[in-house]
Amino acid sequence: MAKVTKKQGERERFGKCAICMEYIPIEYYFSIGDAIVCYECGTEYVLSSKDPVKLTMLEVDHDPDDYYGDKLFND
């Protein structure tokens, strides 16, 4: 068996997307506060903690042009 170094162990960390439930790789060079995007659905997160991995979802801000009255066009 190969010996696992600290750098190798950190490279294998993952967060989980709350929307599509896919795993998001957390690379060793990411720092707390970095923005991370889910590759599958595009949801944006901020890295809150690396050990254990915690991701905080960014709030979705809608463009005022997307509204007509009080309803969203996308609804």
How many structural domains are present in the chain? Answer: 1
Question: Once rounded to an integer, what is the mean pLDDT over residues 56-70?
Answer: 65
- The pLDDT tens digits for 1-39 are 444 455 545 456 899 999 999 999 999 899 999 999 999
Looking at the chain, the number of H-run helices and the number of E-run strands are: 1, 7
According to DSSP, the β-strands at 13-16 and 23-26 are antiparallel
d(CA 16, CA 18) in angstroms, rounded, equals 6
Please tell me the pTM assigned to this model: 0.63
The parent domain of residue 27 ranges over: 6-61
CATH number at residue 11: 2.20.28.160
d(CA 65, CA 61) in angstroms, rounded, equals 12
Asked if residue 34 is part of any domain, the answer here is: yes
